Chain A
Amino acid sequence: MTRIWGALAAVVLLAACGGEDAAVQVSQKNKSFNPNQVKIAVGETIALSNDDKRTHNIRVFHPEMNFNSGSQDPGEVVRLTFDAPGTYYVTCGIHPQMELKVTVTEKGSPSGS
């Protein structure tokens, strides 16, 4: 069975306040991700911010990661950190056509982000 990574994936729900970090920023608006693909290195973080007027539900199904954000209300940020290289698809459980392609490279390799 796949592991549930909810606790491990260093995911925090917090009110959007911009500020802080070096996380790669992805916006959710009008039922789509913008940008809809990103490249990061192992250990780096993506901050998905719900700039939409509707609730989303961030999901990742992957042999290395099984993640469910629960309900992500407008204004909330979901942070995802990837622990293994590979190609991941982040989708929304409520709007499955939403898709963010995440290419995760080995640490130290040129990630392009």
Chain B
Amino acid sequence: MASRISLPARLSTVLPILGLAVVAAASAALGWGLASGVQPEPSLAELKQRYVRPAAPPFPADNSYTPAKAELGKQLFFDPRLSGNNDISCAGCHNPDLAWEDGRPVAQSPTGEPRRRHTPTLWNLAWARTFFWDGRSPSLEDQATRPVITQGEMNQPMDSLLDELRAIPGYRNGFADAFPRADKPITEANMAKAIATYERTIVQPITPFDAWVAGDRDAIPADAKRGFRLFNGKAQCANCHGSWRFTRGAYHDIGLKNQGDLGRGPVLDVAAANNAFKTPTLRDITRRAPYMHDGRFKTLEEVIQHYEGRFVRRDTLSADMQAIDLTPAETDQLIAFLKTLETPEALQGVTRPELPE
């Protein structure tokens, strides 16, 4: 069983109660009632507390971190020899220069055909519990090799890939270093473990927002601070995106007109989860257009307009979906806030590994 950080979940249940008590006391002192039904807003310090980053990513007990494993995983991640035609690596779609996405509305097969869904970013997946837009994969180890063998993605049968890797002396050494106790270390399971270990190290660098949460008052501009308030209040974004990862990992039908993809429902065999997709992180969102699981919106303005009531009302619509109403100035503030989740330019991208020969 993977070790998990459960603190944020506990905090999120405790804090609103504390916040309520504090605001209730304050508003009682000012002579306001709470009977209006309007949720009182927690203090800024309390809000920021919900967004504090953990110090380091967790690794599961059955796939602990070693530098050799992470290095091997990085080589595999960037190696086009993992694909059937030796022409595309994991990084071909999860491009570190594009916040681990590909800049397209939906992913593209190596031969140029559009796939069904938008390539998701890889930021901070060490803390995630389900993978793919529909969550059909329960671990990074399970997820990592699936695109490799999928037709229309990397399209390489596992047996032929393992033979290919075994013929490369550099990989024979790399797998032996990463899995020193294994007789025959080059296996599908070990390949998955190495790639998953590397992926758990893909943690977004400190953004201006993180610096502000950590106490640097001038790290973000005033309109972004107002946007943060809106994010947690009037714009209701935090209902689903409110955590340091800017997702709570849940599945929601946000009322996008269905274009033939039912998302989570068929995976769970639960009709109530039809049209629901995993809440994506908002970290680096300004570098990750176009938006939604199928890339249907080009701009954040369009996304916000969607939440302003342009969504389909249907049985499966998430209980967290209520039309919001922002002024143009507020929309600008919200976007100014989202901009502070951007990786500083000097820290964008990664050094490519030298591939084994």
Contact = CB atoms under 8 A, between A and B. Distances in A.
A73 B270 CA distance: 11
A93 B264 contact: yes
B226 to A, nearest CB: 26
A97 B251 CA distance: 11
Q: Which of B9, B130, B264 has the most CB of A within 10 A?
A: B9
A93 B273 contact: yes
Contact of B268 (A32, A34, A53, A68): A68
A30 interface: yes
Interface string A89-101: 1010111110100
A57 interface: yes
A54 B269 contact: no
Interface residues of A, number: 24
B129 interface: yes
Given A54-B319, A61-B138, A93-B264, A99 B270 contact: no
Contacts of B138: 61
Interface residues of B, number: 28
A74 to B, nearest CB: 9
B263 to A, nearest CB: 11
Contact of A97 (B129, B269, B276): B129
Nearest to A59: B268
B142 interface: no
A97 B250 contact: yes
Interface string A20-39: 00000000001110101000
A94 B269 contact: no
Contact of A94 (B4, B9, B13, B250): B250
Interface string A73-92: 10000000000000101010
Contacts of B97: none
Given A32-B9, A61-B138, A94 B129 contact: no
A71 interface: yes
A39 B16 CA distance: 27
B315 to A, nearest CB: 10
A interface SS class: loop
A111 interface: no
Interface in B1-52: 1, 4, 6, 9-10, 12-13, 16
Given A30-B13, A61-B138, A53 B250 contact: no
Contacts of B251: 93-95
A54 B318 contact: yes
Interface in A44-83: 53-55, 57, 59, 61, 68, 70-71, 73
B125 to A, nearest CB: 13
Contacts of B250: 31, 94-97
A53 to B, nearest CB: 5
A94 B4 CA distance: 18
Given A61-B138, A96-B130, A71 B249 contact: no
A78 to B, nearest CB: 13
Interface in B173-193: none
Nearest to A32: B13
B352 to A, nearest CB: 33
A50 B273 CA distance: 16
12 contacts: A53-B319, A54-B319, A57-B272, A57-B273, A68-B268, A71-B271, A93-B135, A94-B251, A96-B135, A96-B249, A99-B4, A99-B6
Sort A-B residue pairs by CB-CB distance and give the 8 closest, nearest first. Answer: A54-B319, A71-B272, A95-B250, A55-B272, A93-B268, A96-B129, A71-B270, A53-B319
Given A96-B249, A99-B4, 13 more contacts: A30-B13, A31-B250, A32-B12, A68-B270, A70-B269, A93-B267, A94-B251, A94-B264, A94-B272, A94-B273, A94-B276, A96-B130, A97-B250
Interface of B: 1, 4, 6, 9-10, 12-13, 16, 129-130, 135, 138, 248-251, 264, 267-273, 276, 318-320
